[in-house]
Structures are given as C-alpha cells and as structure tokens.
C-alpha cells in the first residue's frame, strides 16, 4: 500500500548512514567535482610558483594552501551532502543570516587588499569573503520563501524573496561587487521562473537591472572602466585581459607544453580569476573542453534528477544551486575570452581561494543533498497514477 501512494522507496531497514548515502547520492557528480579539484591542483602547480617567487614565498606555497583548503571544502561538501532537506534549509537560513551581517559590516571592518573594493575580512593568516558564503544561504532562503508562497494560505513569499534579493544586491553594489550582485539576481530570477513567475514581472525586473546598470556606469568609475574596456574593439596587450586572450590564442588545440606557458609570469591573478588562460596556454583546447564538460555533467545531471523530484522546495532550491554553480563557471571563462566584462569571479573548485573553495563545498554539498534519491517517490509516479485514473 505504501508503494502505491508514495512510489518505490529506496531505503532498506537498518541500513547504515554511509552505505545509504553512497547508494542515493549522484556519484557521477561527485566524481566530476573531484576531477575539477584535481585539475585545479595541476594548474596551480603551473600558475602559482611565479607569484610565490615574487612574494618571497616557497615555490609551492599556494598549492599547499590550495590542498589544505580543498581538503576542508571536500570534507564540508561530503558532510552537507548527507543532510536531509530540512537540515539543508536550516543550514541555509542560518548561514545566510550570518553572511548577511558580515556583509553589512564590511565597510567598517573589512579591507580591500589594494584592489579598490572592500570585500574581505583579514584574519592575518587568511582572508574571508562573506559574499561567497552568502550565495548558497541566499538561494536556500529564497527557495524556501518561494515554495511557501505556493502553499494554501501561505505567506507572500514571492515579495519577501524579492525584498531580500534587492537588499543583498544593494549592499553588494555599494562595495562595489557588481559580479556577485548580478549572480544573486540571476539565481533569484531562475528560481522565480521555476516557481511560476508572471512573465511581466520578469520583464520589469530585467528593465530594473538595465536601469541599475546604467546608473552604476554613470556613478562608478570602477564599473565604467570595466565596461569601456569590454566594449572597446581593441585589447590592450599590457592588461590582464590582453595577456589572457593572447595566452589562449597561443595554446591552440594541444597547448605549448607543460610548464612552457608564459602568461603565469605576467598575470598577477593567473592562479585565481584567469586560471583558464593557464590551462588553455599549456594544455590547449583539449583540457578547456574537458573542464567545460565536467561542469556540464554536474549541472545537467542535477537538473535531470530535480525534474523527477516532487517536493517544491527541493526543486526550486536545487535548480538555483545548480544553475548558479554553472553560470559562475561560465562567467569566469567568458571573461577570459572577452565574451563578458571583467567581474573578478573564481572558477569553482579550480581557482585558488579559501573562501571560494569552502563556500563552493557548501553549495555543491547542498545540491548533492537535494538531488539524492528519496523514499517519497518521484513526480512521475503521480503523473502515471493520474493517467491510469
């Protein structure tokens, strides 16, 4: 009788936690994530020694730190992926509140490390970027509000989620961090669309984004400089973008050879924002295509698993997490080939950065937790029963 109502339940009585987790989690996605991290270490071995030498550090200082932060991030990912959807929701809400407070206090306690935007807290031995940790929490909180709005006599979750989104975007814009602000808007738009958004409201939000971008261009020299550089038909070969584009062209199909690349000696952010340029120069289009393929597998498999999920919160939150993960990778690579304006965004699990790695570990852990096979059955069970009825 239970199977007739809920579908076949993939749970075995008395089964230990780890075997049940391994049987229900998306093992292909985990494999791709581990491969991305391995590629990041490989590229770090090539990209980071010049910067370490410049800063008077040991040759593999940044690689060792990448391994340390990566191990922590993968551990966090595994732990979070074992959580139930209710636990994921609690973690997301608490994490969002903490990250939002930290983000609001940045103008008073944060630092810019000479980069012109106050985005970090300096801890002496490391730095923390609150906006990285805000993203997974925001997605889960907004999804919870949007899902609650679909319940009978539910709260006005759509307007509440929009208010939270605008508050976050305004704080990020004042840093300024327009890249993260755009990513937050994108995540909300995707989830709102999945939740059944009125088309006219999406058009209105798109218009507001264009108006906000125009105001930012007029009022922010930092933003205007990046847009002007993007729109220019010529690329200054002495800029970071110029070095990156030249490296990608030099790499060709198979690359110039391991350790033979030159862009890492010219780019200060070769191990972070422009890590894909190092991959393209030394290993060529072959490795770049493989990296794109790994991201595509994670996103597409997650979306297919979510299509079979009948819980509204899980579908909305999972879609937001998967699409944000994929779009951040797309933005990073798009900047390197001048398809998008420079945004200072890392390549998930590949770029160097403790905050980015650990935050991505939390985000992907949530995604893996929400895409696990569940005993409540799939939405297809309901549709088949209705068809028989």
What pLDDT is recorded for position 7?
Answer: 40
CA distance 63 to 176: 29
C-alpha distance from residue 131 to each of 98, 157, 260 (Å) = 11, 23, 35
Does 6 fall in a domain? no
Residue of 211, 216, 281, 291 whose CA lies nearest to 244: 281
A 10 A CB-CB count for 8 gives 12
C-alpha distance from residue 88 to each of 16, 84, 169, 218 (Å) = 20, 6, 23, 40
Residue of 254, 259, 276, 256 whose CA lies nearest to 267: 276
At residue 103, does pLDDT exceed 70? yes
At residue 387, does pLDDT exceed 70? no
Question: Which value, in Å, is the radius of gyration of the alpha carbons in the chain?
Answer: 22
What pLDDT is recorded for position 214?
Answer: 80
Q: Mean pLDDT of all residues in the chain? A: 86
Number of domains composing the chain: 1
Residues 286-313: pLDDT tens digits? 999 999 999 999 999 999 999 988 899 9
Does 133 fall in a domain? yes
Domain span including residue 307: 17-377
HEC per residue, 194-210: HCCCCHHHHHHHHHHHH
Helices (H) and strands (E) in the chain, counts: 17, 2
Give burial (CB, 10 Å; 0-12/13-18/19+) of 359: buried
Tell me phi and psi for residue 175, to 5 degrees.
Answer: -65, -50
Contacts of 51 (CB under 8 A, 6+ apart): 62, 264, 268, 270, 271
CA distance 342 to 229: 9
At residue 327, does pLDDT exceed 50? yes
Among 247-261, 267-281, 345-359, 372-386, name the one with the lowest average pLDDT.
372-386
Residue 138 structure tokens = 């925001």
What pLDDT is recorded for position 237?
Answer: 65
A 10 A CB-CB count for 115 gives 12
CA distance 365 to 350: 17
Q: How many CA atoms lie within 13 A of 65 on its CB side?
A: 19
Q: Which residue has the higher pLDDT, 79 or 19?
A: 79
Does 105 fall in a domain? yes
Does 5 fall in a domain? no
Residue of 85, 29, 91 whose CA lies nearest to 359: 91
Model confidence, pTM:
0.89
Question: Cβ(281)–Cβ(255) under 8 Å?
Answer: yes
Does 358 fall in a domain? yes
CA distance 133 to 384: 40
C-alpha distance from residue 3 to each of 251, 311, 370, 372 (Å) = 56, 17, 21, 19
Does 388 fall in a domain? no
Residues 179-237: pLDDT tens digits? 899 899 999 999 999 998 777 777 787 787 788 778 777 777 766 776 776 666 666 66
Contacts of 380 (CB under 8 A, 6+ apart): 308
Please give the share of the chain, as a percent, with pLDDT higher than 90.
53
Q: Which residue has the higher pLDDT, 5 or 231?
A: 231
Residues 39-53: pLDDT tens digits? 999 999 988 888 888
Does 11 fall in a domain? no
Does 387 fall in a domain? no
| Helix or strand run (H / E) with residue 164 | helix 157-173
CA distance 166 to 153: 25
Residue of 33, 110, 78 whose CA lies nearest to 348: 33
């Amino acid at each position: 009788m239970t199977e007739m109502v809920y579908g076949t339940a993939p749970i075995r009585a008395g089964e230990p936690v780890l075997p049940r987790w391994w049987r229900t989690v998306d093992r292909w996605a985990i494999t791709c994530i581990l491969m991305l991290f391995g590629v990041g270490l490989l590229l770090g071995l090539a990209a980071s020694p010049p910067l370490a030498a410049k800063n008077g550090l040991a040759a593999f200082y940044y690689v060792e730190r990448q391994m340390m932060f990566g191990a922590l991030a993968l551990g966090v990912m595994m732990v979070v992926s074992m959580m139930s959807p209710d636990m994921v929701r609690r973690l997301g809400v608490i994490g969002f509140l903490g990250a939002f407070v930290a983000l609001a206090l940045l103008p008073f306690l944060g630092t810019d490390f000479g980069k012109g935007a106050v985005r970090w807290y300096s801890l002496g031995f490391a730095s923390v970027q609150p906006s990285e940790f805000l993203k997974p929490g925001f997605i889960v909180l907004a999804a919870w509000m949007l899902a609650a709005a679909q319940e009978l006599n539910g709260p006005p979750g759509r307007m509440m989620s929009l208010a939270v989104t605008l508050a976050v975007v305004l704080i990020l814009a004042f840093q300024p961090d327009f890249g993260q602000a755009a990513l937050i808007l994108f995540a909300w738009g995707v989830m709102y669309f999945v939740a059944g958004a009125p088309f006219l409201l999406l058009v209105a939000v798109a218009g507001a984004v264009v108006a906000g971008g125009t105001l930012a261009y007029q009022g922010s020299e930092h933003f205007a400089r990046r847009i002007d550089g993007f729109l220019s038909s010529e690329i200054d070969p002495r800029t970071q973008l110029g070095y990156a584009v030249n490296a990608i062209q030099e790499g060709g199909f198979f690359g110039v050879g391991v350790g033979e690349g030159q862009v890492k000696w010219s780019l200060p952010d070769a191990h972070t924002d422009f890590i894909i340029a190092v991959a393209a120069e030394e290993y060529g289009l072959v490795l770049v295509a493989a990296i794109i393929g790994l991201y595509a597998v994670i996103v597409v498999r997650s979306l297919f698993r979510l299509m079979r999920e009948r819980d509204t919160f899980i579908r909305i939150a999972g879609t937001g997490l998967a699409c944000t993960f994929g779009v951040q990778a797309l933005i990073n690579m798009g900047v390197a080939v001048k398809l998008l304006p420079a945004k200072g965004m890392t390549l998930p699990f590949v770029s160097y950065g403790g905050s980015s790695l650990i935050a991505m570990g939390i985000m992907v852990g949530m995604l893996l937790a929400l895409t696990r096979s569940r005993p409540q059955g799939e939405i297809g069970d309901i549709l088949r029963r209705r068809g028989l009825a």
